[in-house]
Copies of this chain bind each other. A is one copy, B any other.
């Protein structure tokens, strides 16, 4: 069980964009993340189709986040770039007999997958891009706070 390449690269690119603040080009992301431009383009396309980023063509173009970082969840990103653990066709696409899913074993496998997905969703839908902007230790603290249902560092509005 591991993250697919698009899932990982998509997260990395979004984090880069969030840190950069404004508009970022494919060559810039390519350079920063050590990925080929073609590969970055492929990932960014999917993020655009999912509505997580917006693109501007032509010189001075590039990508920008479609929403502020605190309103983009890790769950949305992974959903946009990969599949869930338990898909609708799970019982169809696997080995052998079509009626195999009526057996108890397979159904309980579905139960396990559903529980795993649920555990991940709790975490991922509470975690935003903004939570991940610090270093590893800071991000760990933010994620833990989210899971505990504690709003991180409540502070006054800053004008502008």
Chain A positions within 8 Å of B, measured between CB atoms, are: 1-4, 7-9, 11-12, 15-16, 19, 33-35, 74, 78, 82-85, 94-97, 100, 104-116, 119-120, 122-124, 127, 132-140, 143-144, 147
Contacts and interface: CB of A to CB of B under 8 A. Distances in A.
B1 A33 contact: no
Contact of A143 (B19, B83, B112, B139): B112
A139 B108 contact: yes
A97 B33 CA distance: 8
Contacts of A7: 1
Given A111-B140, A115-B144, A105 B19 contact: yes
Contacts of A144: 115
Given A15-B108, A111-B143, A112-B139, 17 more contacts: A1-B3, A1-B4, A1-B7, A2-B82, A2-B85, A3-B85, A11-B112, A15-B109, A33-B95, A105-B132, A108-B139, A110-B136, A112-B132, A115-B127, A116-B120, A116-B123, A116-B124
A104 B116 CA distance: 28
- Complex A-B, nearest 4 residue pairs according to Cβ-Cβ distance, in ascending order: A34-B96, A107-B136, A108-B139, A111-B139
Contacts of A4: 1-2
A93 B106 CA distance: 35
